[in-house]
């Protein structure tokens, strides 16, 4: 397997059961996402994998439930890549930030980024990530919800954070794993889920497919 992260060739440590009960080695793991954050999280498991972003239209339907949205997009991403690589374990995910039932996507400009943070200031909001894994014609889907609470932020604090540019390409306009950590007062649930991939959920979903990532 040619690993896009290291350039090395290797065989993944994982094994999966065949229909007759024998075992074979999973030789390819594919991350169907171009997100650097998801790439770092998957890499933290010590796996070698390939990155093949799915080319799909990531739009929400009118009044679509956030859980349904992340499941639909996660599955669409996984299926788009798995259709070309039927022998690989394909991992896909989609993450949204939700406040008062409204999905806050990636801010279109700095003013919207400021607006997002002002609305999140001093309040709790939800982060949903839909995980979709496909291997050997089988599919596993899981949704994880994390509750995040922001400190009460001054206008000057919001302006300084937005000026870093860190939140420009992030759902909700912030990154908890970066400078954005200073915005947070508390978290209830999976931390890595907020970044874009719940690692415990990923491991468990892969095991249900008979693949052991750790």
Burial class (CB within 10 angstroms; exposed 0-12, middle 13-18, buried 19+) of 128: buried
Q: Which residue among 3, 20, 94, 159 is the active-site one? A: 94
In angstroms, the CA 41 to CA 88 distance is 19
Is 94 one of the catalytic residues? yes
- Closest Cα to residue 194, out of 124, 141, 140, 133? 124
- Closest Cα to residue 213, out of 89, 53, 106? 89
**How many of the other CB atoms lie within 10 Å of CB of 2?**
11
In angstroms, the CA 143 to CA 66 distance is 10
Distances (CA, A) of 139 to 8, 24, 74, 79, 213: 28, 18, 11, 9, 16
**How many of the other CB atoms lie within 10 Å of CB of 55?**
9
In angstroms, the CA 55 to CA 57 distance is 7
Which residue in this structure is represented by tokens 């090395």? 8
Q: Which two tokens stand for residue 137?
A: 């014609």
- Closest Cα to residue 206, out of 129, 136, 140? 140
Q: Which residues have a catalytic role annotated?
A: 94
């Amino acid at each position: 397997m040619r690993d896009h992260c290291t350039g090395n060739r290797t065989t993944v440590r994982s094994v999966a059961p065949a229909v007759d009960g024998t075992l074979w080695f999973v030789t390819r793991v594919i991350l169907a996402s171009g997100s650097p954050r998801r790439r770092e999280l998957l890499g933290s498991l010590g796996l070698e994998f390939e990155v093949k972003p799915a080319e799909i239209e990531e739009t929400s339907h009118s009044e679509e439930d956030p859980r349904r949205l992340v499941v639909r997009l996660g599955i669409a991403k996984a299926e788009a890549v798995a259709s070309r690589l039927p022998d690989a374990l394909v991992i896909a995910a989609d993450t949204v930030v939700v406040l008062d039932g409204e999905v806050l996507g990636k801010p279109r400009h700095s003013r919207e980024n400021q607006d997002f943070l002002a609305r999140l200031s001093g309040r709790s909001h939800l982060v949903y990530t839909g995980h979709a894994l496909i291997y050997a014609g089988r599919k596993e889907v899981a949704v994880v919800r994390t509750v995040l609470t922001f400190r009460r932020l001054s206008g000057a604090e919001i302006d300084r954070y937005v000026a870093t540019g860190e939140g420009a390409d992030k759902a909700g306009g912030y990154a908890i794993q970066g400078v954005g950590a200073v915005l947070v007062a508390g978290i209830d649930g999976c931390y890595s889920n907020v970044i874009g991939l719940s690692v415990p959920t990923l491991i468990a979903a892969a095991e249900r497919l008979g693949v052991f990532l750790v």
